[in-house]
Each structure stands twice: as structure tokens, then as C-alpha cells.
């Protein structure tokens, strides 16, 4: 049995404090702060939560640790850990659980203090004897090799990659919560410190503290809560590999699988989407996902993003929060990717609000282009 | 299937490395190459894996240059071996920035040290020509997926 469009809805979302948190703050402090803010957002109480979904790099057994911290005993718990797209996966699993009556109110939470404790401490690398001897700088080098392949096959340029960073920065300047506060030019991206060719530091996401929470319930119960529900219209999950040397084709991601699944469930096409939230760990990733999700033909992503096309005022609003590149990237960014999409559908985005935003797509990426999960959100008018 | 109380797939691979050989596996039933070494073929689950020694010649599939602080630029690349498997490695003997997709390369076994067992790197093959098939994905049943 497959899940049904609109059977569940997002009713509460919140970020934890973002950026740089106080010394000795724990990832669980951030998850809990996000949780209580999200409860406030929807008017539900802690005791209403009977499903806990969570993943983090610093908390190995997330649902257990978070349930203890919150002092709740959930009926359903899921710690699926597939990197940054874990939270999209949690939405799909929460939907199945709620549809089957296993739980009624699902909490999805994330927290990281990677800026405070260092990325190396927050996400220790696993040794792979077939890769580690070559000392790739992970994860940037994996994405850089994928970019090298895209550039080779399709003529994608470093300037086109830089367009993605510049567009993100323009959106970030419209978001008071964004980390970056200064304008950015293509030349500045190209001339920044080289990290792993073709990426300079400005092609790479931020390394910050942060987290958040999302609360979902059945479509029926969602109608009686504080804000208008944001319905889950479609979900799709896909895995293609774990290590970059085992990725079948470095120019095609499993978003080409997860996207069509989500669109089929939603009964929609890319042309129906008003706003797109794409996991931008590196400037190449939105290019891949625009192609693989069907917003442009394969190989055209670099040309698609050129001339400010995904920046404010462009042809497709992408990453209106400022993205992982300029707003916040706390290690696993997928939950924040979805929160922005939900807020756009709710019309809560003030200066960066996309006009008449009825349908928003959030796409998560995990590992080294390894896991790809898509969620399509819709306003009550889409039901 | 190997007896894992006696020997691991990586252990066998390393024994070949110590002899200066780049080893991979082939599934006897369909001839498909398998890399990294496993206890069974991915996708089919066949346990008929046989060890082979690669001729050590291949083509650069993807490449990057890593800039670590206070170090010369470091190449990291994915190499498609002519036998039809892909591995991560690096190309030595030329500037890291001059390693290009499509470049033909030949394996060279590095001896390693106390911390790092021997491991294969690559150098440009003599008269290094760009491989005509390098712009497309290797098609010859590279993996069992």
C-alpha cells in the first residue's frame, strides 16, 4: 500500500538558535528548543507527541536520547540516518505510521554544534581502505569530482557554479536569520580560496551550529490547529551508493528516482511547483537536482541557473532562505530545507515571499550524492 | 564464499598489493568485474567470485585537486580500469592541476609504511592519449546493479 497525497500535514515548524551557540550547548538542547518552538507554532502539547523521528551525527541513538530529554515515551520511533536527506525520509515514514494509526503526532528533530566543536569532532569520518589512502577532502572532493564530470560532459562552467552561490546570497540578504549579511559577486566566488577544484570556499556550504523541528499529524486533525495545514502531497526516497567511487554515473543522482515518485504521488509536474528548496551542500548540487527532478533537461542545469534565473526576480525561486550556502548549514541540512518550503506555502516569508506559493518542493541529499529524498508540500487549496 | 575467520576480501586484495599487483574480482557466471572486493557479487549475490590481476591500465573518469594547508596541491581521481571496474586513486608524476578526464594512466604500487599498507596510484601512460570512449559512461557491464 502506498501513501496518499494529503493524508498528513505539517502543522508546526521551527529552527533552533542558529549560527554560533553558547559553549557546551548540546545537540539535544537544540533539538528540544526547536521542538518547543514548533509546539508553540501549532498549539499542540508535549504530551501529544507519540512519534519521534530524529537523526544527528553527534547523537548515535537519536530517538532514544531525544525522548529521554523531552520526557516522553513515543509509540513510534525512527532513527533512519542517511545523511542530510534523513528528514525527508522521516516525513515519508511518519506518513506511513500516521496512516496506519501507529501514531498520531510525529516530531522530526535535528541539532548540531559542529561550528562549536569542529566539523571533524561532529562528524568523524569512517575509514574506507579503498578511498582513505588518497586523502580526499570529504565530502567536498566527492562533489568536486562529480562537478568535474558534469563540466566535462556538458560544458558547465565555474561561472555557472558561482551563479548558484550568488543567487543564494541574494536570497539570504532578504532573510534576517541568514548567517551571511554581505553581498557576493561571481568574481568573489571564483577568486576565493580554492578548496577542492573546481570549488572555492564560496562554492561550499557554511559550517554552523543549528537545528530545528517539524510536527506533523493527520490531515483531519491538522485542520483544527493554530495555522493552516501544509499538506504532504508527495514523497519519494532513493539510494544509489555510499562511497563516491561506487556512484554508477557521477552526473546522474537518485533524485531522478525520488523526484518522479514524489510527483506521481502528488499528481503534479515540475511546472506546477511555485518554489523549490534544494539541498545546496555545494554549488553543483542544485544544478544536479534541477535536472534530475525535471526542471530542465539533463546537462542544462548550468545554463538554467545563469543570469540570475534562480535569484530573487528570476524565473524559478530556488532556496529562498539563502540555502546551505548563505543561510545556515548545520551538518545535516535537510530539515531546514523543508522548513523554508513550509513557510513559503504558509506565506510567512516577508521580503522573500514567493507570490501565490501554493506548491513547494523540498529535496534532500545525503552522503556523497548517495541518498536522495523529495517531499512536495501544498496549501489547503491543493487538496 | 571466503571463510572470514581465515581471510577477508580486503586481506586478499592487500596480499596482491604486497606483490605489486592490482587485484579485482570477476563473477564466473557472467564475467562481470567486481570492485571493491566482496564476499559475493553485488546485485546477483553470486558467490562465484574469482580473483584476477588487472593489467593496470585505465582512463581518468573524474578528477579534483585538493588544497590542504601548507601542502602542494593533491590530485584525487576516479580511474576506470580497462577490465571494466572503477576505483579511487591519484595520478602522480605530473602537476595535480594537469590531470584531465580521459587521460590514459598506468598503475604504480606504492610500498606504504607502518601506518599505511601498500596501495596503488597511477602515472600517465606512455604517449598518453585521450581515450576515445572517455566522454561516456563505461558500458560493458561494469557493475551488477
Say yes or no: A50 and A149 in one domain: no
Report residues of chain A scoring pLDDT below 70. 1
pLDDT score of B137 more than 50: no
pLDDT range class, residue B134, cuts 50, 70, 90: very low
Q: Does A368 touch chain B (CB under 8 A)?
A: no
Say yes or no: A99 and A218 in one domain: yes
Nearest to B22 by CA among B74, B47, B58, B48: B58
pLDDT score of B98 more than 70: yes
Does any domain span residue A264?
yes
Q: Which residue of B has its CA nearest to A250?
A: B62
Question: Are A145 and B63 within 8 A, CB to CB?
Answer: yes
Length of chain B measured in residues: 145
Q: Which residue of A has its CA nearest to B34?
A: A246
Within 8 A of B120 by CB-CB distance, chain A residues are none
Question: Are A145 and B97 within 8 A, CB to CB?
Answer: no
Q: Does A245 touch chain B (CB under 8 A)?
A: yes
Question: Are A130 and B88 within 8 A, CB to CB?
Answer: yes
Domain spans of chain B, in order of start? 9-53, 57-130
Question: Are A136 and B66 within 8 A, CB to CB?
Answer: yes
Domain boundary among the residues A229, A264, A294 is at: A229
The predicted-structure confidence for A98-117, as pLDDT tens digits, reads as follows 999 999 999 999 999 999 99
pLDDT range class, residue B126, cuts 50, 70, 90: confident
B126 to chain A, minimum CA–CA distance in Å? Answer: 23
Stated as kind and residue range, the H or E segment containing A117 is helix A114-117
Say yes or no: A213 and A186 in one domain: no
Residue range(s) defining the domain that contains residue A88:
8-120+208-229
Query: Angle at CA A129, nearest 5°, toward A126 and A130?
Result: 115
Mean pLDDT on B29-41: 97
Say yes or no: A153 and A177 in one domain: yes
Say yes or no: A141 and A30 in one domain: no
Q: Does A130 touch chain B (CB under 8 A)?
A: yes
> pLDDT over 70 for what percent of chain B?
87
**First-residue to last-residue Cα distance in chain B:** 20
Say yes or no: A67 and A198 in one domain: no
Within 8 A of B66 by CB-CB distance, chain A residues are 135-137, 141, 195-196
The structure's pTM equals 0.95
Residue A179 corresponds to which cell in the numbers above? 548567517
Q: Which has the higher per-residue pLDDT, A211 or B127?
A: A211
- Looking at the structure of chain A, the number of domains it has is 2
Q: Does B25 touch chain A (CB under 8 A)?
A: no
Q: Which has the higher per-residue pLDDT, A52 or B139?
A: A52
Judge residue A7's burial from the number of C-beta atoms within 10 Å of its C-beta, 0-12 exposed, 13-18 middle, 19 or more buried. Answer: middle
Within 8 A of A131 by CB-CB distance, chain B residues are 88
pLDDT score of B141 more than 90: no
Which residues are registered as beta bridge partners of B81? B58
Say yes or no: A174 and A198 in one domain: yes
- Reported ipTM: the value is 0.96
CA distance A81 to A139: 16
User: In this predicted structure, what is the pLDDT of residue B138?
Assistant: 40
Does any domain span residue A115?
yes
CATH among 2.30.29, 1.25.40, 1.10.472, 2.40.50 for B57-130:
2.40.50
Name, in order, each residue with C-beta under 8 angstroms of B115's C-beta and a sequence gap of 6 or more.
none
Rg of chain A taking only CA atoms, in angstroms: 19
Within 8 A of B68 by CB-CB distance, chain A residues are 135, 137
Within 8 A of B74 by CB-CB distance, chain A residues are 135
Say yes or no: A92 and A155 in one domain: no
User: In this predicted structure, what is the pLDDT of residue B140?
Assistant: 38
Question: A with B: how many residue pairs have Cβ under 8 Å apart?
Answer: 79
Q: Does B59 touch chain A (CB under 8 A)?
A: no
The predicted-structure confidence for B56-80, as pLDDT tens digits, reads as follows 999 999 999 999 999 999 999 999 9
Does any domain span residue A357?
yes
Q: What mean pLDDT, rounded, does chain A reach?
A: 97
CA distance B46 to B27: 7
User: In this predicted structure, what is the pLDDT of residue A197?
Assistant: 98
Say yes or no: A187 and A325 in one domain: yes
pLDDT range class, residue B142, cuts 50, 70, 90: very low
The predicted-structure confidence for A286-336, as pLDDT tens digits, reads as follows 999 999 999 999 999 999 999 999 999 999 999 999 999 999 999 999 999
- Nearest 5°: phi and psi at A188? -65, -35
Say yes or no: A45 and A190 in one domain: no
For an interface test with A, the pick among B66, B119, B121 (most A C-beta atoms closer than 10 Å) comes out as: B66
Asked if residues A163 and A286 have their Cβ atoms less than 8 Å apart, the reply is no
Within 8 A of B64 by CB-CB distance, chain A residues are 136, 141, 144-145, 148, 196-198
Q: Does B62 touch chain A (CB under 8 A)?
A: yes
- Cis peptide leading into residue A101 (ω within 30°): no
Does any domain span residue A131?
no
A132 to chain B, minimum CA–CA distance in Å? Answer: 9
CATH number, position A185? 3.40.47.10
Say yes or no: A166 and A257 in one domain: yes
Q: Does A249 touch chain B (CB under 8 A)?
A: yes
Does any domain span residue A126?
no
Say yes or no: A148 and A21 in one domain: no
For an interface test with B, the pick among A246, A254, A368 (most B C-beta atoms closer than 10 Å) comes out as: A246
Q: Is A64 helix (H, G, I), strand (E, B) or coil?
A: helix
Within 8 A of B143 by CB-CB distance, chain A residues are 246, 248
Amino acid at each position: 500500500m502506498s501513501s496518499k497525497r494529503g493524508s498528513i500535514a505539517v502543522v508546526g515548524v521551527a529552527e533552533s538558535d542558529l549560527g554560533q551557540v553558547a559553549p557546551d550547548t548540546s545537540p539535544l538542547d537544540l533539538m528540544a528548543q526547536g521542538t518547543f518552538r514548533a509546539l508553540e507554532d501549532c498549539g499542540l502539547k508535549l504530551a501529544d507527541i507519540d512519534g519521534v523521528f530524529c537523526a544527528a551525527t553527534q547523537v548515535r541513538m537519536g530517538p532514544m536520547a531525544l525522548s529521554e530529554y523531552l520526557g516522553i515515551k513515543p509509540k513510534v520511533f525512527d532513527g533512519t540516518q542517511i545523511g542530510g536527506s534523513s528528514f525527508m525520509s522521516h516525513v515519508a515514514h511518519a506518513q506511513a505510521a500516521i496512516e496506519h494509526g501507529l501514531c498520531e503526532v510525529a516530531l522530526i528533530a535535528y541539532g548540531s554544534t559542529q561550528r562549536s566543536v569542529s566539523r571533524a569532532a561532529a562528524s568523524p569520518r569512517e575509514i574506507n581502505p579503498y578511498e582513505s589512502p588518497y586523502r580526499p577532502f570529504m565530502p567536498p572532493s566527492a562533489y568536486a569530482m562529480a562537478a568535474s564530470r558534469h563540466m566535462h560532459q556538458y560544458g558547465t562552467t565555474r561561472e555557472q557554479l558561482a551563479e548558484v552561490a550568488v543567487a543564494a546570497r541574494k536570497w539570504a540578504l532578504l532573510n534576517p536569520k541568514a548567517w551571511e549579511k554581505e553581498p557576493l559577486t561571481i568574481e568573489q566566488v571564483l577568486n576565493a580560496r580554492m578548496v577542492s577544484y573546481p570549488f572555492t570556499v564560496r562554492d561550499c556550504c557554511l559550517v554552523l551550529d543549528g537545528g530545528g523541528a517539524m510536527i506533523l499529524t493527520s490531515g483531519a486533525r491538522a485542520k483544527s490547529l493554530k495555522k493552516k495545514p501544509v499538506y504532504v502531497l508527495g514523497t519519494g526516497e532513493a539510494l544509489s551508493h555510499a562511497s563516491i567511487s561506487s556512484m554508477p554515473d557521477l552526473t546522474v543522482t537518485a533524485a531522478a528516482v525520488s523526484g518522479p515518485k514524489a510527483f506521481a504521488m502528488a499528481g503534479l509536474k515540475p511546472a506546477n511547483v511555485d518554489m523549490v528548496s534544494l539541498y545546496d551542500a555545494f554549488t553543483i548540487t542544485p544544478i544536479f537536482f534541477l535536472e534530475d527532478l525535471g526542471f530542465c533537461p539533463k546537462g542544462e542545469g548550468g545554463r538554467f541557473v545563469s543570469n540570475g534565473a534562480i535569484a530573487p526576480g528570476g524565473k524559478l525561486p530556488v532556496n529562498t532562505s539563502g540555502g546551505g550556502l548563505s543561510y545556515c548549514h548545520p551538518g545535516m541540512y535537510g530539515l531546514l530545507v523543508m522548513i523554508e518550503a513550509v513557510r513559503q506555502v504558509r506565506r510567512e516569508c516577508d521580503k522573500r515571499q514567493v507570490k501565490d506559493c501554493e506548491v513547494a518542493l523540498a529535496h534532500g541529499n545525503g552522503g556523497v550524492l548517495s541518498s536522495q529524498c523529495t517531499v512536495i508540500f501544498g496549501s489547503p487549496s491543493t487538496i | 564464499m571466503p571463510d572470514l575467520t581465515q581471510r577477508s576480501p580486503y586481506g586478499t586484495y592487500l596480499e596482491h598489493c604486497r606483490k605489486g599487483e592490482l587485484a579485482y574480482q570477476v563473477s564466473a557466471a557472467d564475467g562481470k568485474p567486481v570492485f571493491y572486493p566482496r564476499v559475493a557479487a553485488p546485485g546477483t549475490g553470486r558467490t562465484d567470485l574469482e580473483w584476477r590481476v588487472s593489467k593496470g591500465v585505465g582512463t581518468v573518469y573524474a578528477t579534483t585537486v585538493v588544497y590542504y594547508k601548507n601542502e602542494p596541491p593533491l590530485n584525487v581521481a576516479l580511474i576506470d580500469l580497462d577490465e571494466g571496474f572503477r576505483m579511487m586513486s591519484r595520478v602522480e608524476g605530473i602537476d595535480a592541476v594537469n590531470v584531465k578526464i580521459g587521460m590514459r594512466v598506468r598503475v604504480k604500487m606504492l610500498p606504504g609504511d607502518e601506518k599505511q599498507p601498500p596501495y596503488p596510484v597511477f602515472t600517465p601512460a606512455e604517449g598518453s592519449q585521450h581515450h576515445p570512449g572517455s566522454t561516456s559512461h563505461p558500458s560493458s557491464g561494469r557493475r551488477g546493479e
